[in-house]
A and B are shown apart, each in its own frame.
Chain A
Amino acid sequence: MAGKQKMMKGCIAFILLLSLLFQAGCAFKDIDKRVFVLGFGIDPSEKMRNGFRVTLKLAKQVGDIKQSTSPPYLYISHDAESVAEAIHEMETRVDKVLDFGHSKIIVIHKELLTKDLDTFMDFFTRRGDIQMISYVAVADKTAEEIISFEPTTEAPASIALYNYFDNTGTESPFVVTTFLFEFRREVLGEGLDTIMPIIGTDEENHDFVIDKSIILKRGAPPVELTPEETKYFNSLMNKAYGFSYKIKEDDLIMILNFDEIRMNYKILLNDGDPRIDMKITKVGVVGESNKRLNSKKLEKYNKIAGKEIGKTVTDLLIKLQENNVDPFGFGLRYRATRLSRKGLDKEWEKRIYPDIKFNVKVNIELKSTGAVE
């Protein structure tokens, strides 16, 4: 009996191995039958009412980058009533399968932000093969221009645009990064408004300029932040550091470099006026100064800098409050610290947030005046 059973199992194993033969012609298409989409650009269509103009950046197949004679990228655009339609119509224009699995950026035209986002962003979250870690950004001009722009620093077969956001190339506090999954959760959810980078180009058309950002709230006009405000926001929320902060006091000008930033806040409603107590700690060194500094007076410089930075942060918070947007997610924190009940988010948005006071305390810890006094 045991022997028979063994034989039976051997047979099954053999059949299993045999069935691998059928798998040889796999369902995948070979790589030379695919063309890889590297980025999407979406504009409002000029030809069609309520339509979209979708631009794709495609990577061409070349055997050897050094020997290729033409640029390795190809751009195609198409107008249609919806994004999915545009893409399906574009499929008829290329001889290969469009492969979206490698795409990492979606650039949106500014005007589209005030429209119903669902109609075009739906396509990206619905498809299984588009990465949820794609970057979402807003174009300063048109998305088509941005997606097909090739800056001078772009090496062959590399994509400059990715490097700004993936924190492996440049790391600047001026660049905010928004992933598709963040975009989705924040646009569809209540309590935290999405912040997205704005991609522009410089006047000579040599390079990208990514230093502004835009805050998107559903059903309200988007709010743009200046580079300086973006930097402050980014350093607080995403702990982006590595850039200098200029401090002016009388005739003393100091540039401070921070390499550690901590921020936490508390929402206090029952202790006097409703207010948000924000505590910021920044640790760093003096990077440049127009006067000779005294190492013993670091305490004093700390105070000066703290006051200055505190004021800038308060101004930023008030600007956000006046525009009724909330990229810090105060509303979310409010909901997160209270037992659930109906209308908690509306209560915050309608009643509390417009009048709340901000109390920003900045604690600067300068470690030294740099290598010289």
Chain B
Amino acid sequence: MTQTHGGTGRYFGQEVKRREDLRHLTGRGRFTDDLSPAGTLHAAVLRSPHAHARIGSVEAEAARKMPGVVAVFTGADLKDRVAPLPPSWLLPGMSVPEHPALAYETVRFVGDGVAVVVAENRYAARDALDLIQVGYEPLPAVLGAEEAAKPGASELHKNVPGNVAFVFPARGGNYKRAAKKADVLVRQRLVNQRVVPNALETRTVLAEYDPGTEHLTVHTSTQGPHNIKRLTAGILRFPEHRLRVVAPDVGGGFGSKLHLYPEEVLCAFLARELERPVKWTESRSESFLATNHGRDHVQNVEVAANRDGTITGVKATVYANLGAYLSGMGPGVPSVNFAMMVSGTYRISNIDVKVYGVLTNTPRVDTYRGAGRPEATYLIERAVDLVARKLVMDPAEVRRKNFIPKDAFPYKAPNSAFAYDSGDYGPNLEKALEMVGYADLRQRQQELRQEGRYLGIGIASYTEFTGIGPGWVLNMAGFEYGGWEYARVVVHPTGAVTIYTGSADHGQGHATSYAQIAADALGLSMEDVEVVEGDTARVQFGNGTFNSRSMPVGGVAIKICCDKIVAKARRIAAHALNARKADVVYDEGEFRMGDASGALGKAARTALKTRRTIVGTAVRAVSGLDLPRAETSGGAVSWAEVARLAHFVSDYPSGLEPGLDEKTFYQPRGMTFPFGTYVAVVEVDAGTGGISFERFVAVDDCGPVINPLLARGQVHGGIAQGIGQALLEGAEYDEAGRPVTDSFWNYAMPRAGHLPRFETAHTVTPSPVNPLGVKGIGEAGTIAAPPAVVNAVVDALSPFGVTHLDMPVTPEKVWRAIKDARREEAPKNGGGA
């Protein structure tokens, strides 16, 4: 692949193998639960079995007396000592309910923490939970967002009337007029079901307090150690500068490990209180209750279009389930992240979106891979297929017709606050269609239908925003994080380099891709570059890893910092070479004289030489010693020599501090908008409803690709989760609000045998907003796969007159749809797309 940006070095664009792998392959990975300092106590949380109940009495004496139990704390014990957990996204007019670390008057979902036990080992801690007696008075529970927002519904929080925490409108143009003038209107109710992120490592926290230094250290499986530190310090009223948060190896996160959880606060509190290390390890079943969920929208969509396929307007009324409390970015996901992205890759002039953010008696809903953009993309990509169906047009053609044209960028949708940076959607779509052999497939689809076989072709084009920033836009939208990322580059006197970054890897391979960026920018070998992240004591500042921001923000911060280092190193080299900085060129580890040998350059060199000679003579006169000479033979000085000179030479360029140690807070001036087209080809067995994949093609455009191997890995993983949502996954509850899906026994996760072989490719449209031109890729697959797969299944079922099925599209659902259609009439061959 030819690179247009950032690709001047040896590593950018190369399939460099990961440096992270060796420790995992040999059993030396260190996840939080692998750490057990001497004397570690184990915590277990007693969780509510009721979706909604008033807490009467809590009897914990029997548990406290159990052998091995060190302490038991109830919600009432903590409420005056531990402040509630705040959300990090405050929308205008939003009602913020109190979110205590342990419930003390009311429990609001099955899994809400009521008490915490600390014992000598994990078995004893679990045993003790059984001895705590809680007197619950059950209250009526509300589970679905639509139901909870209805007048008269049981209310969760006193200060959230009608359970609606916010109503978020995103409007532009005049949808009403567009609808009146349109040739066709297409309506659909779409359910984007609740899914469980299910990182393989459950959340784990280990807190240690050192009474000698009054320092508190929290190891936690998180994507954002710096924000965990900031928020925990505030909640416990603990001095932030004496609190350290470390994210060691993190076994996946997908957004679910980004935000502060009660257990992080509890362990930190308990470690300080008991002055012993306290560890909490979530069980998988507990994780289904206590770790944040994703999605959970009910979307009522209407699309206005002309007979030629031009989409003139989209309207959506959306009920977003936020769960029982507001978590970190919970309010921002269905509002800003979703509502401003509903027009996707299309130029639609009239948009009217209204989102109700609703509290219900279910676990909290927050960021999950893609966070809002999968919901937006699903909405618009299903709608485009419905328009195509209604107008009897090819779905690819409807997309082509409505794409934002290449010359319209930067493009701002009429209902949005931010502009898409760059895009070129047409060639990307054509590449995907060509890879899958689209024209032939449509032909084959017709032929197979004659044989009673049902092939379906599903297309989904997407765009999203990554590299979230700049900060002032985020703050205006109610988000309290910074949009910047921090980097520090330290050159050791040997010339080796350590990079510090505020992002936090949880499987993406940052240590490899950041080292590629830095080694190129510094003209060094990757082996000379070490990357450090995930520890607030080693990296002073950071915002963490989410929203595919690590490369377009974190990576760019590193690049900028490295450029600063090289600039300073050139001044030092120039001094050693008796040259002007402008005359020195740096290339692959060596500073040397450029071809600037003009008279001015010569004069400057002579002046510098004279100064050195005068200083040297003075030193010799006093000490009888010569000044140390730089190794400048042949008019060149090596990187390592400059690193040494930077630290140890008394004759230093005037006005410059010794050392090579630079830092940056890079604030992106805008967000980046990767895009792509996915095509799923499936065959549906009309007898059983079974769905098998024939092809799965993904063509992404995230600008220049730093490491194609890692980018492909991200796409694969994202697709797997997207197919999981489309076909298998879904959190379900009984009428009382008890989870029906509470373990891997009853929640269907994709296994190796469920998934097809993915065929991936890239187009390259650089971003103009950052010097590397890079956009993020981590969420792409999860965003585009669900509509591609559902569009394919619905396309396969078009001869039966099926126009929509809600996710997960299980064989049973498909079989019922076919059966219902057959009851009405025999299938019409040759219909559909």
Partners in one complex: no
Chain A residues with a Cβ under 8 A of chain B: none
B interface residues with partner A (beta carbon < 8 Å) = none
